[in-house]
Structure 1
Amino acid sequence: MLNTKPNWPILTVMVGISLTACKILPTKSDDGNNAATFNPDKMVEEIWAAKVVPYLQQKAGPFAQVHTLATTDPAAAGAKYGNPNKQANSPWTFAVRLEGKIIAANTQSRAATVDVDVDGDGKADARVQIGPAVRGTALRDSLDFIQFNDFTNQIDFAQFGKAFNAYADKMVLSKLPREALEGRSAKVLGAYTLGSGQDLPLVTPAEAEIGPKP
């Protein structure tokens, strides 16, 4: 019998350090001078374990609870599970914990996904990205310490969003199984954007676990 209790890793955060105090700074070049270069992959690597995962663990709510509130009162859901510092014209992005059974899998595409039944009714409630290609910028957009104004331009901001996806694939998604996924359990900590144009909410994981074959 599967243990359905969440077993997310517990990370200790030093007292006095605020998760919202992060300032995105350019990475210094390796040639010994003080010229700063923009290296989004390095920037994501430096904040992933220290800030990104702890923030999502603290902010995330159960998927069913978050999505129900998001569809009825997006602003209330955003205040509790979203990024209140988002750009005014941007949709809400929510941090969620998701656990359920995989009822369908699409692993033929590079943008592979699994559909997960959260409430046990046999129907998919969410679609989880498992890479290697990851769509959208939900991980970046869920973090209230990431501000557009911290970046030189829109191109840098977009590259930073893609760097989150690449790092999630490298550290998490690439380690997941790809065969015989239907019927297995799935457990995810991640984020999704409201109204992303998908039939199902499209969740991008920061942590993910797929159970053994039933």
Structure 2
Amino acid sequence: MAMKRRACIIMMACLIMTMLLTGCVKVVQIGHEAEITGNAVFNASENVAGIWESQAIPQLEKKAVDLPQFLAEANGNLKSLAGKYGRYSMGDKGELSYVVKGQGRITEVNQVKKAGTMTLQLDGYTGPIKIYLQIGSVYKGSAVRDSLDFIKYEDYKNQVDWAKVSQSIHDIVNKDVVGKQDLKTIQGKTVKFVGCFSADKPDEILITPVELSVQ
């Protein structure tokens, strides 16, 4: 009898513990986690869309230096103008990016790979550095994000959110900048652009356009 009574007590205790634990568990619908944790899920697309036209484009237009002038001043060393025109992705280190503008003739359109490019013959420049405009659908680097003064790595929770900002910028570029051009007929035409590039190659400039128009 004593053993049976002890078994009943143990079973009752387990049942009570189960009920208590179950009572503490709340099922949360996906996307509503912030209601419980207080931590809102970061939405990079909304974040970028909210600042693109009102803050990003005006700042990039203001910072943009004429590319022929930039190349003349650099005299073959693209990193030499970091203090005058550049911005590093993480304060005083990381990727060095510049904002430039100019116009030129499209001599080739290459869409064999997903990271497509257009070759630009820049007006006012006859030097050896090759100049390309990115046309997606995959965009390399993060020069646009890194060129914006009000976007700082330390303001984001983690590196994943930081990367999502750059991806969302590229989504806008692909849809609203490059996507508005007829890439099938653009070869041979003159284009005007504002864009950003990272100085990671001494003999090549790969520009992500934020403004692009056929002249």
Give TM class, smaller chain.
0.7 to 0.9
Which structure has the larger Rg over C-alpha atoms?
2
Match of 2:11 in 1: none
Aligned residues of 1:103 and 1:124 also touching (Cα < 8 A): no
- Further displaced range: 172-181 or 112-121: 112-121
Letter in 2 for 1:152: K
Residue number in structure 2 paired with 1:162: 167
* Structure 1 counterpart of 2:7: none
Using the alignment, how far apart are the partners of 1:60 and 1:47 within structure 2?
A: 18
**Equivalent runs, 1:95-134 vs 2, <5 Å:** 95-118=99-122, 119=124, 121=126, 125-134=130-139
For residues 81-107 of structure 1, what are the alpha-carbon distances to aligned partners after superposition, in whole Å with 9 as ceiling and x for unaligned? 222674333131000002111111102
Aligned to 1:67: 71
Instruction: Indicate how the Cα distance of structure 1 residues 161 and 95 shifts in structure 2: closer, same or farther if over 3 A, else same.
Output: same
State how far apart, in whole Å, the 2-side matches of 1:60 and 1:68 are.
Answer: 15
1:132-175 superposed Cα distances (whole Å, 9 cap, x missing partner): 22111110011111111111111211111111111111111111
- Output the CA distance in 1 between the equivalents of 2:142 and 2:61: 18
Alignment of 1:183-198 (within 5 A): 183-195=188-200, 197=201
Amino acid at match of 1:55: Q
Partner of 2:144: 139
The answer as to whether partners of 2:88 and 2:146 remain within 8 angstroms in 1 is no
Distance in 2 of aligned mates of 1:58 and 1:144: 12
Alpha-carbon RMSD across the aligned residues, in angstroms, is 2.6
Q: Distance in 1 between matches of 2:40 and 2:202?
A: 39
Question: Mean alpha-carbon deviation: is it higher for 130-139 or for 51-60?
Answer: 130-139
Residue 144 of structure 2 aligns to which amino acid in structure 1?
L
Structure 2: any 5+ residue segments left out of the alignment? 1-30
| Alignment partners' CA distance in 2, 1:202 and 1:84 | 17
- Pairing partner for 1:171 from 168, 171, 176: 176
1:58 Cα deviation after fit: 0.5
Percent identity for Structure 1 against Structure 2: 28
Aligned residue for 1:64, secondary structure, equals helix
State the TM-score, normalizing by the size of structure 1.
0.74
Rounded to whole Å, the distance in 2 between the matches of 1:49 and 1:90 is 26
- Give the drift of 1:120: 6.2
**Preserved CA contact (<8 Å) 1:83 1:142:** yes
The TM-score normalised by the length of structure 2 is 0.74
The structure-2 alpha-carbon separation of the partners of 1:85 and 1:107, relative to structure 1 and needing over 3 Å to count, comes to closer
SS in 1 for 2:179: helix
Structure 1: 5+ residue runs without aligned partners? 1-28
Letter in 2 for 1:132: S
